[in-house]
Amino acid sequence: MGAWGYKALESDEGLDVAGFLQNYIENQINSNHLLLTDIVQAMKNEGFFGETFNDIDFFYDVSAMALAEIYITYLDTGYFLSDESKCGNVQSLTLTADEDALIFIIRYLTDIRDEVPDEHGSREIVELWRESKNWHAWQSNLNNLIHRIEQEISNLH
C-alpha cells in the first residue's frame, strides 16, 4: 500500500482511479455531461471492482472510496477532478448521479465500515488501517463519505 495520507486519493491505488477517470473523460470528448452510473460501469469493466460484492479486495475498496471522494469533491467544488487529485481540472463538466450508482458506492463503503470479511475472514483495508497511526482519521473519512453519499441518495427522493 503506497499511501501518504489517510484519504483514498492519497494513495497509489487512488491515483490509479483518478488517472483512469481522467482518461475516461478525455474519451468522452463529444460530451460535457457524465453519468455516474456510466463511470461505475466503466470502472467495473476495467477491473476496479469485483464481479460481485463477495469479491472483496483491497484495490476494490480503495477504488470505491476514491470514487466517492472524487464525487463529493465535485459536489462541493463543481470540479470533477480537482487540483488535489493531481490529475488536472475539468471545469465545464457536469456529472449526474442516479440512485443505482450511489447505492453501489454506498454498499462498498458500508461493507468496509462493517468489516464484511473476505474468504480469509478479514477485510484487508481495515486491517491495514487499524494498524496505522491514521486509523481514526481514516475511519472518520470513511464515515464522512458514507454520510455524504447517504445524503445524496435521500436528496433524490
Q: For 2-6, 14-18, 46-50, 61-65, which range has the lowest pLDDT when averaged over its residues?
A: 2-6
Show the cell assigned to 41. Answer: 460501469
Strand 94-96 with 33-35, pairing? parallel
Spatial contact of 47 and 53, defined as CB atoms under 8 Å apart:
no
Rg (CA), the chain: 15
The residue-averaged pLDDT of 120-139 equals: 92
DSSP conformation class of 2? -
Torsion 121-63-155-99 (CA) sign: negative
Query: Per-residue pLDDT tens for 56-112?
Result: 999 999 999 999 999 999 999 888 775 344 344 445 678 899 999 999 999 999 999
8 A C-beta contact, residue 52 and residue 46: no
Residue type, 86: K
Question: What single-letter amino acid sits at 7?
Answer: K
For 3-7, 21-25, 108-112, which range has the lowest pLDDT when averaged over its residues? 3-7
Q: What is the pTM of this model?
A: 0.90
